[in-house]
Every structure is written in structure tokens, then in C-alpha cells.
Chain A
């Protein structure tokens, strides 16, 4: 059974490209355009990995991960956060929220794929 990955980012094009890369590798992908949207879309659905941007409107990435980890079904779900070099402080906040993996923006699709497959095999 294919593993499901959720990508949460306010950029539709980023979601699209990551989606193409992950689907090509055999993952199923669901998208969320911000934290709020992602939480409502998940709604108890099984996901194996969540990729989330930090900076988003409505609900930012850190708050989103904090909320996500409160839901028992997603307690053990690995999270990859997307950061920029200038967000060292955010990294600590993210770690406190429960995220362990980081990918620095901007990245190439292959880099994202490598990071994902370290955590979840398709």
C-alpha cells in the first residue's frame, strides 16, 4: 500500500512540484494550503509523513505542528519542516513543537525526495 504524504505550503506551485516528485516515487500526496486548511483536510485520515512550511497565513507551521501532535492519531507522524537559512530561531521552536527533520528552502525536488525517503519508504 502506498504511503501517504501531506504537503502543507501556501504556494500552490511548490505543492504541485513536490507532489509531482513524490507521486513519481510512489507516494500518495495530499495538499494543504495552510495550517488550518491542513488540519481540516486531515480529519483523522491516515498519513505517514507531513511536510510543512513555517511561514503561512491563517495558521503558521509551528502552530500547525503543535496542534497536529495533540491529535493521538498523528502523535508518531514524522514532520519535515521547510525553513530558510535565516530562521535558526524557528528551528528551535519547531523542535519544541515536535518536528525533527528540516529541509532548507529553496531546494531541488530530488533533495526533498531524499529527505522523505529517509523517513518513509514509499
Chain B
């Protein structure tokens, strides 16, 4: 074999070189400035590396590459030669000799462990001399240059009407540089099939002006190649790239493919050129040229009048306009996404809390100023303070808005949960989401995740029946879990619903009896019975699954929601489904309140809960003194006299009013003396001492500096309604007795 012979030559040659290297190294010990010796050593390493590569001896190439690098630095004077370095280089020489010997013994042999270890040790020592090493290793350099050089397999001869179009204009000097234009075109033909060549002699001057050594020709080539990309074609003209103008236009059938590629690119690339280069429709060189041209044009015209990169690329005929459009579309998308990103600012939550606290103080101070202004009876001052208070109100709203986030993100997390859990359970369950754009306080959103998770899992596990049961009941085999959110009179309602079997009232009742939570004589409404499942250790599931049924959880759900000053209730219809409604306060800091006075004290209720205010006339006052309910346009409205409720001892005022409040679908009246109107209320929590106080949820400070209590409307309504029921029960009992 000829190649074996060549390898033998390599081995002999390498040994000679290594010997020469040793000699020169030893010579350097006595005369370290001998440049010829240093050059000889460098050349030896260089030659061994170069030839070794030809035989694919990567081990030798990789090692010699490092040696060569160090020697290059020695040659340029960056690294001084000394005894240590000479000793190290001698060891390296011996090591290369060892590798060569191994190859001589068996050309396919891999170095053994011991040899390898020696190599690594030497390389580590060499590295200390090798500060400016380039990142590219020789191996990767080879790998990089390979695709450029790779010979493309010949086409299978299929003819298509769709071709690459290559425009070539050779520079005048191309012949003088030893390049033959025809050779490249012939080489191109090797990679595929040249369909058509048009030779353009337009640049040819008249005979007397013509220089026979110059090239005046241009070519328009239609080329067909299977599996050829733009970079490969550009690679053909690699050696004349600087001496010619080259335009490669991909075939039309490729446009679709490129468009797809452009659209599939990750969106972080925002430059048009980068997009096109990444899709392969534009080569790096073409982009550089176009950018350069743009630079020149910018210098000529003003900044705005200069043509856009896309236009230049199309005009230069390196890409089709369709592709520029696709890339522009993509770019716009990326830009929009980026813009969206930049619209968001991350700030620490406690900074926001501090701001809202300050806004709260400002609201109070503003109220005080307004009050003073009113007292002075100065119309100009009055005007100024009312403008101020309107602005304060707007600032308050904006500040609170900062904390509001959409619940959609929390809801969307459940898509995955529902998918996974339904797989685990072997049920086919889908998720439907409504009101994802409903906003609520960030701190509430954070805390509502866990209770929702529990409720959703419960619905899927216990609520939705197995497919066969569903079919028997005439329901679609696929079950659905609904998540819904909406605003309702000053609070936000989050619903978790399912179209499953519903709750079994009797079963719950029996279980509650068994646990001693209720007595058999108790007359409970449906909602009350369903509410029992929130009691600790309550579970009616016969089988405990790994998801739910242990009786822990539902009480935790309720506790979590109550901690947010919210309430939870269940609506269920057997065979049709269950809906759990979570009602949460909209905000936790500042609200629009409705201020009213009883005797000398002031009270606030959230304005959103106030339905209407009616005057309690003399007749009704007398009539309702005992009964505590009135006839409001045909419906019974139970009410609470705040004067009695809070044991107000001051003189009864001449006029009384009823404020009708509503919460969770129930209405009640609050009888007060005075209506003082809308009031911006900064909620101040009550101290621990008052934590258990029923009917009061907080306090606020009035403009005058007085404290007003914020009424807990849900609790008051509850009280009014239950007392109503008690009264009803009493009167029924009286009737029976009578």
C-alpha cells in the first residue's frame, strides 16, 4: 500500500526531526539566544503536527499543537528560554518520540494509560507557558473547516424547474492572481448540475483599451443541487470571494422552507440580518457586505434617508423580498415581546407596602385638611383642598393598582395539574377557565394557590364520577372542572366547580351526627349541611386515595381563606355538580368607605356593600321597635340597631336612617342616626386585644383625628339573619303554646 509507505516515511521523518530537535535544544543550553536553533525546533514541531494530521494521528496533533504554541511564543521572545523550559521541551520531545514509536509498532494503536498520563502531565506544565492560547483547538479547527471543504454527493439526476440563481462578476485581477473563473464553475458543476450559464461580456472594453491579463467577464448561472445550502455554494468561490461579486439567490421552493425556519428561530434574535443568517438564507459574508454598504449609504445620506437593511439585501439580490418580509414579521414579534418584557419592573414587595402605608397616611392628612378648610369657610381654600383630595384619591387608586395582579396565571397552573391528576385517576377530565383577567391583590393571589389546589383535586377525585357512571347518568364521558373569578360588591369571588355527582346531603348529615358535630333535632339548611365538610376530620369518602379523603384539608382550606378575611361556601346539586365559592376582600389596605354616625361615634362600612339608604319614618320606627325587620318594597329586611348593638347610651336622635347592605346575596339593614357619606378609609388593623371582637373588622382615622370603627358586614348580616330565624322560631313556638 502506498499509504503505508507514506506512513513509514512519516515515522522516519519524524524521528529525524526529533533528533534534530534534541540537538538544537541541547545547543540552546549553552547559547540560549541562538535564533536558528529556536527556529529549527519550532519547524520540527510544526512539521510533525502538519504531517501527523494527514494520517489522522490526532494524539500527536493535539499534543504537538500545544508544544508548537509554546515554541511560537519562545520564537517571538514572549517566553524567555531557560533551563526548566529546555528540560520540559526535552521531555516533550521524548513523549512525541514515544507516540511515534507506538505508531511504528502498530499504526492503529491507541496510547496506553501510562503514556496518556505522561501526556497530560506534560500538557499541564506547558500550559503555564501558554498564556495567549487561542480557544480553538486544532481538532475543532479541522472540524470547522471540514463542512466548507466537504464534497457534496452528486445529484441523482432529477430535473426540476426550481434552481439556485448565482450571479458572478469577476474582478479584473482574478487572472493575475492565478485564478481561473472556469475552474470554479466546473467545480460547481461537480456538486450538482449547472442548468444554464449566461456569460456577460458587457464589461469588455474596446480592443485598444483591453488588457489581456484582466478579466472582464460575468456569469449568470442557474444551478440545481440536492441538499446543497447557500454556505456550500459560497464555499465553492472561497478563493475568489475577495476578487468577485457573488450573489446567490435560493430557489423559490426554498422560500417556504426558509420562512418556516425564520419563524421557528428562538425569539431572542432581534436583528434582521441575524435572523436571515440563522435561517441559512443569507451567509455571514453577504450580511457583512450589506452592512458595510449600509454604513457607506448612511454617511452619504442623512440617517433617516438611508435605505433599510432589508431593502439593501433585496436590491443586492442576495435574498428574496418574501424572506425579508418573513424576517421582519418575526423581528416585530420579537421586539414586541421585548417591549412587553421591558414594560415590567420588578420591585421589592415591601417597598410597595411602604408606599401604600404612606398613601394611607396622606389620605388621613388630606381628610384633616379638608375638614379645616370647611371650617374656615374660605371658598378658595375649599377649592384647593377639594382638588387636592381628588388627586389623593387618584394616587390611592394607582398605588393600590400596583399590587393588583390577574388571577389568570394562577388559574393556568391548573392546566397541568388537571392533566396529570386525571391521568393518575384514570378519568378523562378537562379544565375550563373563566374570568382569568380578574384582578386581585398580589398577597391574596399568593395565598390562594394552595386552597385552590386542594379544591380542584377534591373535585377531580370525589366530585367527578368514573366514565361509565357518567354515561349511565347521561352525562358526557369527559368531566370538567371549572375555575371562575369575578367581582361582586366589593369582593372577589373565586369558584371551583365540577360537573360531577354532587354532595350527598344525607351522608354528610349522618356522618356529622356520628362525629357529634350536630344533633339530630337540628334543622339545617343545605348550605349549612354542606358547610360541615369544612369541619376538621370530616370525610365521607369510603376509600382513602392518595389525593384526598383523609379528612385533613378542607378545614385547612377554610382556615386559609378566613385568614384572608374571606369566606367559603358550597353549592351542590346531587347528580349535577358542586361549586365551591370563595369570597375574598378586594383589597387589604384602603377602601372606599361609607361613613355614618350613631350618637357620638362614627362607623364605616365598605361602600361597595351599601345598596341604598332609606329614612326610617316615625310610623315605621314605632312599628319596628320590637320586630327588628321592615317591609322593604315587599320583601322582609331584617335590621340591626347599631345603637343597641354597640350599647350607645347617648340621647336618641330625632331622625334615624337605614343603610341597606348586601353581602353574598344576603341583605340586611343597619339603623344609624346620621349619614355622613363617602369616605376614603385607610384600614388599620385592630390590636390583638380586640382580635375576637364580633362585628368589627378594623378601624380608621378620621380627618378630625377621631377613630372610627369599620363594621364587619358579613358578620352583622349573619347575626341579623340568625336572630330573625330565632325570632321566627320563637313566635312559632308561642303560637303552638297558644
Q: Residues of A with Cβ closer than 8 Å to B?
A: 9-14, 16-18, 20, 53, 55-57, 75-79, 82, 84-86, 98, 100-102, 104-111, 113-115, 117-121
Which residue of the partner chain, among A17, A76, A101, A119, contacts B55 with CB atoms under 8 Å? A17
Which positions 140-181 of chain B face chain A at CB distance < 8 Å?
A: 141-142, 145-146, 149-151, 175-180
The answer to whether B184 and A118 have CB atoms under 8 Å apart is yes
Known contacts A13-B54, A118-B236; A108/B183 CB under 8 A: no
B173-211 interface code vs A (CB 8 A; 1 in, 0 out) = 001111110011011001000000000000000000000
Which residues of chain A come closer than 8 Å to B179, judged between CB atoms? Answer: 78, 100, 119
The answer to whether A118 and B187 have CB atoms under 8 Å apart is yes
State which of B43-51, B285-293, B309-317 sits at the interface with chain A: B43-51
Shortest CB-to-CB span from B32 to chain A, Å, is 21
Q: List 14 A-B contacts (CB under 8 A).
A: A9-B50, A12-B9, A13-B9, A55-B46, A56-B43, A57-B40, A78-B178, A100-B177, A100-B242, A104-B141, A104-B142, A106-B54, A117-B187, A117-B190
Cα distance, A120 to B181, chains bound together (Å):
10
The answer to whether B236 and A109 have CB atoms under 8 Å apart is no
The answer to whether A105 and B49 have CB atoms under 8 Å apart is yes
Shortest CB-to-CB span from A34 to chain B, Å, is 11
> How many A-B pairs with Cβ below 8 Å?
141
Say yes or no for B69: interface residue by CB 8 A criterion. yes
Cα distance, A19 to B61, chains bound together (Å):
21
The answer to whether A107 and B54 have CB atoms under 8 Å apart is yes
Known contacts A11-B51, A86-B134, A100-B177; A107/B142 CB under 8 A: yes
Which residue of the partner chain, among B7, B146, B242, contacts A111 with CB atoms under 8 Å? B146
The answer to whether B52 and A106 have CB atoms under 8 Å apart is yes
Known contacts A76-B178, A100-B179, A118-B239; A20/B51 CB under 8 A: no
Which residue of the partner chain, among A56, A108, A115, contacts B146 with CB atoms under 8 Å? A108
B1-23 interface code vs A (CB 8 A; 1 in, 0 out) = 01101110110011000000000
Which residues of chain A come closer than 8 Å to B243, judged between CB atoms? Answer: 100
Cα distance, A13 to B2, chains bound together (Å):
11
Apart from A9-B50, A17-B3, A119-B179, what 16 extra A-B contacts exist at CB < 8 Å? A9-B47, A12-B9, A13-B54, A14-B51, A17-B6, A76-B175, A78-B178, A78-B179, A78-B239, A79-B178, A104-B145, A107-B53, A108-B54, A108-B142, A108-B146, A121-B186
Shortest CB-to-CB span from A50 to chain B, Å, is 9
The answer to whether A77 and B178 have CB atoms under 8 Å apart is yes
Cα distance, A113 to B14, chains bound together (Å):
24
Return the chain B residue nearest A74 by Cβ: B178
The answer to whether A110 and B134 have CB atoms under 8 Å apart is no
Say yes or no for B461: interface residue by CB 8 A criterion. no
Which residues of chain B come closer than 8 Å to A13, judged between CB atoms? Answer: 6-7, 9-10, 13-14, 51, 54-55
Say yes or no for B240: interface residue by CB 8 A criterion. yes
Cα distance, A14 to B55, chains bound together (Å):
9
The answer to whether B54 and A98 have CB atoms under 8 Å apart is no
Which residues of chain A come closer than 8 Å to B46, judged between CB atoms? Answer: 55, 84
Known contacts A100-B177, A117-B190; A106/B10 CB under 8 A: no
Say yes or no for B72: interface residue by CB 8 A criterion. yes
The answer to whether B56 and A108 have CB atoms under 8 Å apart is yes
Say yes or no for B551: interface residue by CB 8 A criterion. no
Say yes or no for B238: interface residue by CB 8 A criterion. yes
Which residues of chain B come closer than 8 Å to A118, judged between CB atoms? Answer: 183-184, 187, 236, 238-239
Which residue of the partner chain, among A20, A79, A104, A121, contacts B183 with CB atoms under 8 Å? A121
Known contacts A17-B3, A106-B54, A121-B187; A114/B180 CB under 8 A: no
Cα distance, A114 to B138, chains bound together (Å):
20
Known contacts A11-B51, A104-B145; A120/B3 CB under 8 A: no
Chain B interface mostly: helix
Return the chain A residue nearest B8 by Cβ: A13
Which residues of chain A come closer than 8 Å to B7, judged between CB atoms? Answer: 13
Shortest CB-to-CB span from B597 to chain A, Å, is 89
Say yes or no for B136: interface residue by CB 8 A criterion. yes
The answer to whether B239 and A105 have CB atoms under 8 Å apart is no
Cα distance, A117 to B69, chains bound together (Å):
32
The answer to whether B134 and A85 have CB atoms under 8 Å apart is yes
Which positions 206-251 of chain B face chain A at CB distance < 8 Å?
A: 213, 236, 238-240, 242-243
Return the chain A residue nearest B242 by Cβ: A100
The answer to whether B178 and A17 have CB atoms under 8 Å apart is no
Shortest CB-to-CB span from B554 to chain A, Å, is 70
The answer to whether A107 and B5 have CB atoms under 8 Å apart is no
The answer to whether A105 and B149 have CB atoms under 8 Å apart is no
Which residue of the partner chain, among B13, B141, B187, B213, contacts A85 with CB atoms under 8 Å? B141
Cα distance, A100 to B243, chains bound together (Å):
9
Known contacts A100-B179, A104-B145, A107-B142; A85/B51 CB under 8 A: no
Cα distance, A86 to B49, chains bound together (Å):
13
Which residues of chain A come closer than 8 Å to B180, judged between CB atoms? Answer: 78, 119-120
The answer to whether A14 and B54 have CB atoms under 8 Å apart is yes
Which residues of chain B come closer than 8 Å to A53, judged between CB atoms? Answer: 50
Shortest CB-to-CB span from B530 to chain A, Å, is 78
Which residue of the partner chain, among A11, A16, A107, contacts B47 with CB atoms under 8 Å? A11
Which residues of chain B come closer than 8 Å to A56, judged between CB atoms? Answer: 43
Return the chain A residue nearest B140 by Cβ: A85
Which positions 631-664 of chain B face chain A at CB distance < 8 Å?
A: none
Which residues of chain B come closer than 8 Å to A121, judged between CB atoms? Answer: 183, 186-187
Known contacts A78-B179, A84-B46, A118-B239; A20/B149 CB under 8 A: no
The answer to whether A110 and B50 have CB atoms under 8 Å apart is no
Shortest CB-to-CB span from A67 to chain B, Å, is 15
Return the chain A residue nearest B16 by Cβ: A12
Cα distance, A102 to B186, chains bound together (Å):
20
Query: Which of B56, B141, B239, B242 gathers the greatest number of chain A CB atoms within 10 Å?
Result: B239
The answer to whether B186 and A106 have CB atoms under 8 Å apart is no
The answer to whether B239 and A101 have CB atoms under 8 Å apart is yes
The answer to whether A10 and B47 have CB atoms under 8 Å apart is yes
Which residues of chain A come closer than 8 Å to B51, judged between CB atoms? Answer: 11, 13-14, 17
Return the chain A residue nearest B2 by Cβ: A20
B568-588 interface code vs A (CB 8 A; 1 in, 0 out) = 000000000000000000000
Which residues of chain A come closer than 8 Å to B2, judged between CB atoms? Answer: 16, 20
The answer to whether B72 and A86 have CB atoms under 8 Å apart is yes
Which residues of chain A come closer than 8 Å to B68, judged between CB atoms? Answer: 84, 86
Known contacts A20-B3, A114-B149, A117-B187; A11/B50 CB under 8 A: yes
The answer to whether A106 and B6 have CB atoms under 8 Å apart is no
